Amino acid sequence: MPITRDYRALAVAAAKGIYTWDSRSSSYSDIYARVRSWWELLPDGSNPLSALVTEFEGTGVTAGTFVELAGQSARRVGTAQSLRCDLELAKVQEYPAPWEGLHVCTVTVEVVDETSNGRSVYAAPVTVMLNCPPALTAPSYRCAMVAFYATAERIVY
């Protein structure tokens, strides 16, 4: 994950990273730990790790299904196709971010899933929430991902 104040670049990197893994070289725990390392908890507890688990599983991978996928040498690659942030999103215009420095971006990712049984390609939207300076809860020198949404009912348009 890049260390940057460019929330757009961070949103793209996060969305691609959430949808990129390889069961031939990583376990479910490895992949979850990588994504977990990007999710920075807020002091008010509004972005609990239970939400991270739910949203990561919204990408179609759970600890249980990963065992089966690993048996098929599964791998997934996400490539960002489009990015819309803040005022480009109707829901954010309707319900603005609660503090200055919080950004909401929705990235459409082209996902390529490959297994020993075949290949499929599809588009997946991911909404990424980023906490950036001048927010008091943000690191002073960079933006931080504080949430992402992969489940359909949580995607921001």
The residue type found at 91 is K
What is the predicted pLDDT for the residue at 97?
A: 87
**Which pLDDT does position 42 carry in this prediction?**
94
Strand residues in 42-133 grouped as ranges (E): 75-85, 102-115, 118-131
Task: Determine the structural domain holding residue 145 and report its residue range.
Answer: 7-154
Six-digit token pair at 128? 């990424």
Q: What is the CATH number of the domain that holds 57?
A: 3.10.450
- Cβ pair 19, 107 in contact under 8 A: no
Residue 115: predicted pLDDT: 96
Axis-axis angle for helices 28-38, 49-57 (nearest 10): 130
Residue 94: phi, psi to the nearest 5?
Answer: -70, -40
pTM, two decimals, is: 0.93
Q: At what angle do helices 7-18 and 28-38 cross, to 10 degrees?
A: 170
**Contacts (Cβ under 8 Å, ≥6 apart) of 91:** 156, 157
Instruction: Classify residue 1: in a domain, yes or no.
Output: no
In a domain, residue 73? The reply is yes
**Which positions of the chain have pLDDT values less than 70?**
none
Residue 70 is encoded by which pair of tokens? 């690993």
Q: What's the total number of domains in the chain?
A: 1
